[in-house]
Structure 1
Amino acid sequence: MPEASTPDVQSAPQAPEGRVSPPQPEAELLRGAPAHVGNRPPSYPPHPLGRPSVRGTDAFAPFSPVVLLDGAQVERLTVRAASVRGDSHNWEGSCRQDAMTVTRIGPPEAEMLLLAVADGVGSALYSHVGSYQFSRLAAVYLDREAESIHAALCARSEDELRVLATKAVAGAAAELRSLWARSAQHSPRPYADQDYATTLHVLLIPTDAGIRDRVLCSVGDGGLFVLREGRWEHGDPDDDGGLLDTRTEALPHAYRSVKAALLRTVPGEVLLLGTDGITNPLTQKDPEFARRLADAWGGPEVPSLSDFLWQAQTRAKSYDDDRTVICVWEEGA
């Protein structure tokens, strides 16, 4: 009986010399729902539900994204920024009323990083439009005053800074009021300031590392915090509550109520500019929320954009408003 033949065993193909085989895929890591403080998560689900329709009466809301994510590296400054629709708006399917801007203003010799957050007043019909447009147009008008602002900052003149900031915000308010009034002529509802009500906070940071002062311009609630040695402190150097205790003021009608203050910082401190969706839980009696963010943002490494977004979404019961936060890290000399 002839011996059975054995099939040839094909050897695995060899990769051509000099070519590296692709690595084997690793198991996908999923973060899941954002973390929460307290024993139980908030009642609202942690994800977006409905959203406005193009067929609704509001032409802006259907195109407002649930999340905005931004960042920058300018000289020794690193920025991470996120604006997230709050749990209550997710549940209702209404649009995000917060807005933010990250940009640069001024000529090279007087350049400043401009960071802005705006929080549309919840009861105002078009507050999402007001916050979006004010956070951008204020940057345009502040750019027109950039050289004078830079000079006043170097001279440490808060009075002059207040005059210049008020001039810029008033210019933005006048242009937007005119725009909104013209738009209202084609709708059944007449123009009213209160329909577009929003707060606004602008932080100006010189890109020249030798200038240690920063400028905060504010109308309304929200504000600035500084992470120093693991603790969050109010950004108002005088700590008189003037920048945060303005809850009844909102643009466009409060354009003469702009407050301006100087703040001196050093490398290693983290600046946090935010709407009250994040500044309120930072100051709550339970310190767990503040501690979590201090641990996340006070480490030796600046978080990636995706990590920052996930950290910024840390949830706390009863704090379900839109949340906008911009953080700035400065590399040491």
Structure 2
Amino acid sequence: MRPPSYPPHPLQCPSVRDGDVFAAFTPSVLLDGAQVGRLTVRAASLRGDSHNWEGSCRQDAMTVARIGPPEAELLLLAVADGVGSAPRSHIGSYRVTRQAAVHLDREAASIHASLSARDEGELRVIANKAIAGAVGELRLGPEHATTLHVLLVPTDSRIRERVLFSVGDGGLFVLRAGQWHQAEPSDDGTLLDTRTEALPHAYRSVSAMVVSSEPGEVLLLGTDGITGPLTQRDPQFARHLADAWGGSAVPSLSDFLWQAQTRAKSYDDDRTVICVWEGAG
């Protein structure tokens, strides 16, 4: 893997005097993790090399939370990538991941039932209602433009289905037998090109896709800072992360952060990645 030309460490950072206090107080690295039953989560959001160089803040955001009642509990994993040309996208991405979780919590029982039935149509209806409600409640404008991907995993290990709600670039990969497989929502003809999709207004609908996974497989949810090099002709990068995250042991938080920081030439954007491992029963 050829390293980028940028230095491998943070340089400038935003100042309170720049007039954007939210940006000034946004850390360059966010690290999280959880153990929920047989599910183990590791999550990291990193300021990209280009933003380190420019002294601008991290525009990506992420949320890890449990939603729903005990009988229909879901593990919620969300990532958002603020659109670079939108001046307040870092605020939009931060706020929308959290408010989407609040609205999806209200729909958790219906999501759980629809997921058990693999009813993608009903899940799409629920997703559009919840995400539209979150955006409307936040009163986001075009200056807050951001993508959003939400993965919901039932904490009941008897249910093998998971659902991905998506608007925009980024998405879900499954590490199976040492190979990364991209999970792509089908285009029903109502969606814009995903390269142009973003909340709050530049999208037609939220896509919903049901996927199944088994213990031993790894689910990776990410923004395009990591899904780009996984997808676009960087086999060394993909192999490195498959080796790091496909072993018998789940990495510690510090190891996961170090691995998530693996640099790839031409990919200098913010990077947010959440991985889920499931232990055997």
* TM-score (norm. length: structure 1): 0.82
Change beyond 3 A, Cα 1:247–1:106: same
Are the counterparts in 2 of residues 173 and 255 from structure 1 also a CA contact under 8 Å? no
The secondary structure found in structure 1 opposite 2:4 is coil
Change beyond 3 A, Cα 1:243–1:109: farther
Matched ranges for 1:128-147 at <5 A: 128-147=90-109
Change beyond 3 A, Cα 1:237–1:172: closer
State the 1:319 CA deviation: 0.3
The secondary structure found in structure 1 opposite 2:16 is coil
**Aligned counterparts of 2:174 and 2:205: Cα–Cα separation in 1:** 24
Which residue of 128, 150, 169 corresponds with 1:166? 128
Aligned position for 1:314? 262
Which residue of 107, 113, 119 corresponds with 1:157? 119
Which residue of 237, 247, 263 corresponds with 1:299? 247
The secondary structure found in structure 2 opposite 1:149 is helix
Question: Is 1:63 matched up with 2:25?
Answer: yes
**Aligned counterparts of 1:212 and 1:256: Cα–Cα separation in 2:** 29
The secondary structure found in structure 2 opposite 1:60 is helix
Aligned position for 1:227? 175
User: Structure 2 regions of 5+ residues with no counterpart?
Assistant: none
**Aligned counterparts of 1:221 and 1:294: Cα–Cα separation in 2:** 21
Aligned position for 1:289? 237
Amino acid at match of 1:263: V
State the 1:242 CA deviation: 9.9
Change beyond 3 A, Cα 1:287–1:245: farther
**Aligned counterparts of 2:191 and 2:243: Cα–Cα separation in 1:** 26
Question: Is 1:49 matched up with 2:2?
Answer: no
The secondary structure found in structure 2 opposite 1:95 is coil
User: Structure 1 regions of 5+ residues with no counterpart?
Assistant: 1-36, 181-192
Amino acid at match of 2:79: V
Aligned position for 2:278? 330
Aligned position for 1:108? 70
Are the counterparts in 2 of residues 220 and 244 from structure 1 also a CA contact under 8 Å? no
Which residue of 60, 76, 89 corresponds with 2:51? 89
For the aligned residue pairs, the C-alpha RMSD in angstroms reads 1.8
Aligned position for 2:148? 200
**Aligned counterparts of 1:261 and 1:137: Cα–Cα separation in 2:** 21
State the 1:240 CA deviation: 9.3
Are the counterparts in 2 of residues 223 and 244 from structure 1 also a CA contact under 8 Å? no
**Aligned counterparts of 1:307 and 1:225: Cα–Cα separation in 2:** 20
| TM-superposition CA deviations, 1:104-138 (whole Å, max 9, x none) | 00000000000000000011100000000001100
State the 1:59 CA deviation: 2.2
**Aligned counterparts of 1:160 and 1:209: Cα–Cα separation in 2:** 22
Amino acid at match of 2:230: L
Percent identity for Structure 1 against Structure 2 = 77
* TM-score (norm. length: structure 2): 0.96
Are the counterparts in 1 of residues 192 and 204 from structure 2 also a CA contact under 8 Å? no
Which residue of 246, 250, 254 corresponds with 2:194? 246
Aligned position for 1:210? 158
Are the counterparts in 1 of residues 36 and 155 from structure 2 also a CA contact under 8 Å? yes
Are the counterparts in 1 of residues 191 and 205 from structure 2 also a CA contact under 8 Å? no
| TM-superposition CA deviations, 1:148-196 (whole Å, max 9, x none) | 111111111000000001000000010111xx5xxxxxxxxxxxx3210
Are the counterparts in 2 of residues 170 and 256 from structure 1 also a CA contact under 8 Å? no
Aligned position for 2:209? 261
Change beyond 3 A, Cα 1:269–1:84: same
**Aligned counterparts of 1:153 and 1:289: Cα–Cα separation in 2:** 33
Task: Indicate the structure (1 or 2) with the bigger Cα radius of gyration.
Answer: 1
Deviates further, 98-107 or 47-56: 47-56
State the 1:255 CA deviation: 6.0
